[in-house]
Amino acid sequence: MNQTKKKNRKLIEKKSHSLSSYIFIIILIGLIPVFQLTTTIDLVLFPRLLILSITILCFLLFLIFRKKYKPNIVNIFNSPALWAISAFFLISIISLFWAINVPAGLFDVSKTFIMLMVLFVAIILIYENKNFITILTKTIVVMALFFSILGLYQYVERVLPDPKRIIEGGRLAIYAVRGTMTHKNQFAIAMFLMLPFLIYSIIINVRIWKNLSIISAILIFINLILLQTRSVWVGLIFSLMATLIIGVIFRKKFDISFSLNKKNRVLLYLIGVSIVVFIGAVGVYLTKTKPGKQIRKQAITLTEFKSKNALERIEIWTGSVKMMKEGPVLGVGAGNWKLLFPKYTKRRSNAKTVISARPHNDYIWVAVEKGIFGIISFLLIFFFIIKDIFKILIHSGDKTEKLKVLLMFSGISGYMAIAFFSFPQERINHQVYLMVIFAIVISSYYKTFPDKIRKYAKPQQAFIIPAIPVVIAIIVFTVISINAETYTKRALNEKSRGRWPQVKELMDKAITPVTNLDPSGNPLHWYRGMAHSFINKNYKAAIEDYKKAIEVFPYNVGVMLNLASVYGELKDFDNSIEINKQVLALSPGNDIALSNIALSYFIKEDYEEALKYLDKSKPNTRDPQLKDMKIRMREEINKKLSVNDSIK
């Protein structure tokens, strides 16, 4: 009877492990990378965080309330990497205490905590289910096929007909190839992170899964070439070099033997011929086709530090370093980089958008927002994971285990190189893959060093129970943010139609204690302030909203110009001139500010000052109304000055 109960318990255990692993993997690898909401401005950021947060909540509850079988759970708190991530999360929270805009950092803090939970759950599932890696790898193979085919389809449909076609946003047609992401570069990073798993599948699997893995890997390489994402090219090269170096250093540990029998000689011959044909085809494509010439041009710019793109990045990094010097220890607060950056750059901002939402360098981003302790904890995460990989390579007697962590190292090293030129830290999909890689390494470490494991008879309730209300709070915040984005997107559509009462009504709903910016970083109060200006010229209410907008984003040129204009409408020219001069300090040569100052002085009958600022403005502007105003104002100023001269 007891033996029957034990067998039934083991069967329940096995089924529970397999089912939970399948659900976890399908959601993380199959659903999250493709999930989008068309009602939000950013189609994927908050929607994917919501799905992930709900998933984590369900699994935390599952770990607590499963009654029939409560397994011994590995004490993952022995892992220094997990402690480093926890420290990074706490530092992110602390940084908000001196942030100028706390709600702007809530997404960053929420995402960091959820990723900590992803790592926690993934380690438990990998430890409990020996088939977890197999299920994971096969799921990634399927998704890689889907991604690569989708990418090629979009390339053929959107790029090949006219590679030089300009699409929305003033970009080349290649930017229309974005798969299920919102940008081609993020699509390329997503496919790059699949490669270590595909190579692992090629090596360990047989027949259909091996063949599917080979096809997927080839198609992804083709996509990465076509997408022209230089940060991924650099990551791929760096990953290959780093992995080869580590492989050579630890080659004796792998004890690889390869006999050149007839079958292997034929295989080597076929591989060699395939590589030659592939290189030849790529060479022809790069030299004989228009898209190929564009790819070749992009490749050349990898070593050109004076290209427009490179100079822009260097300028952003230089401004970020200046920002960091003013608060090297504490940072400026999570999510607040974009709000302060205009103060530290000479780049001209316009009235519609922020200069840059990100520094395109995760290390600089972390250092600026979270200070020296933030960047140290961030780097320690990678240090401890790589340290575990080296220990496994040295001490493990399992060749498959060593191969697995070596390939995880290739993914980590490539990710770290990409993070130097892009922002994978922000994107949910990329962070999920990174946490899964970390979980695989940590689990492999415990397998290699079983003496490091301590087990508990019950799940780690001391950690899970406090985490549940935090995850629930994140879900609530995410839902509020999605609603705010939905209202804002609708308001922007109404704004384009000139329907200002509807804009105000929608912005009243979008503005909450935890939402005051849109995904681009523009204050929501700005939009409502514009609505007030156009509804019965309610300038006092507009000023109040513009001032609130400046509180949450002190250096937004668009808001400042609108506030100055409202003061002008109220005949408060001194305040109007002062604010426009503040705009010029942030955006030297801003044509709107110069013209508005000239107009204010003109109305005040200070014609010499008016002419001085009018002369500084652009004589030819794209705005026909502004151009006409300048011409008429100059004519009037010249008349007034001529009359004054004649009187004298």
pLDDT in tens, 390-422: 999 998 888 889 999 999 999 999 999 999 999
Quick one: pLDDT at residue 417?
A: 95
In the predicted structure, residue 613 carries a pLDDT above the cut 90: no
Quick one: pLDDT at residue 288?
A: 56
Cα Rg, the chain, nearest whole Å: 29
Is pLDDT larger for residue 396 or for residue 516?
Answer: 516
Instruction: With cut-offs at 50, 70 and 90, classify the pLDDT of residue 275.
Output: low
Is pLDDT larger for residue 544 or for residue 20?
Answer: 544
Least confident among 443-457, 491-505, 553-567, 568-582: 443-457
Q: What is the pTM of this model?
A: 0.88
Instruction: With cut-offs at 50, 70 and 90, classify the pLDDT of residue 208.
Output: very high
Supply the DSSP string of 443-458, one letter for each residue. HHHHHH-GGG--EESS
Instruction: With cut-offs at 50, 70 and 90, classify the pLDDT of residue 330.
Output: confident
- C-alpha span between 147 and 140 (Å, rounded): 10
- C-alpha span between 314 and 319 (Å, rounded): 9
pLDDT above 70 covers a percentage of the chain that reads: 82
Least confident among 83-92, 259-268, 495-504, 568-577: 259-268
pLDDT (average), residues 206-233: 91
pLDDT (average), residues 519-543: 92
Quick one: pLDDT at residue 29?
A: 95
pLDDT (average), residues 472-494: 96
Supply the DSSP string of 205-242, one letter for each residue. --HHHHHHHHHHHHHHHHHHHHHT-HHHHHHHHHHHHH
Spell out the domains of the chain, with CATH numbers in brackets. 2-31+71-454 (no CATH), 472-647 (1.25.40.10)
Looking at this protein, which amino acid is placed at residue 260?
A: L
pLDDT (average), residues 244-261: 68
pLDDT (average), residues 198-220: 91
In the predicted structure, residue 529 carries a pLDDT above the cut 90: yes
- C-alpha span between 376 and 364 (Å, rounded): 12
- C-alpha span between 549 and 579 (Å, rounded): 14
Residue 329's SS3 state is coil
Quick one: pLDDT at residue 351?
A: 46
Instruction: With cut-offs at 50, 70 and 90, classify the pLDDT of residue 598.
Output: confident
Report the residue count for the chain.
Answer: 648
Question: For 192, which DSSP code?
Answer: H
Instruction: With cut-offs at 50, 70 and 90, classify the pLDDT of residue 114.
Output: very high
Supply the DSSP string of 126-185, one letter for each residue. HHH-TTHHHHHHHHHHHHHHHHHHHHHHHHHHHTTT-TT-EETTTEEGGGG--TTSSSHH
Least confident among 286-295, 340-349, 509-518: 286-295
Quick one: pLDDT at residue 525?
A: 96
Do residues 417 and 444 touch, judged by C-beta distance below 8 A?
A: no
Do residues 245 and 386 touch, judged by C-beta distance below 8 A?
A: no
Quick one: pLDDT at residue 305?
A: 57
pLDDT (average), residues 271-282: 60
For 570-587, give one letter per residue: b (16+ CB within 10 A) or e.
eebbebbbebbebbbebb
Quick one: pLDDT at residue 79?
A: 82
Do residues 98 and 336 touch, judged by C-beta distance below 8 A?
A: no
Least confident among 126-135, 168-177, 300-309: 300-309
Hey, which of 268-272, 418-422, 601-605 has the most confident mean pLDDT? 418-422
Tell me which residue of 325, 394, 42, 328 sits closest to 183, measured CA to CA: 42
In the predicted structure, residue 76 carries a pLDDT above the cut 70: no
pLDDT above 90 covers a percentage of the chain that reads: 53
Within 10 Å of residue 351's Cβ, how many Cβ atoms?
Answer: 17
In the predicted structure, residue 627 carries a pLDDT above the cut 70: yes
CA 253 from chain centre, in angstroms, equals: 37
In the predicted structure, residue 187 carries a pLDDT above the cut 60: yes
Quick one: pLDDT at residue 44?
A: 94
Do residues 427 and 189 touch, judged by C-beta distance below 8 A?
A: yes
Average pLDDT, the chain: 84
pLDDT (average), residues 498-515: 95
Scan for tokens 């009018």, then name that residue: 614
pLDDT tens readout for residues 28-75: 999 999 999 999 999 999 999 999 999 999 999 988 877 544 444 556
The residues pairing with 455 across neighbouring beta strands, listed in sequence order, are 74
Contacts of 216 (CB under 8 A, 6+ apart): 141, 144, 145, 148, 194, 198
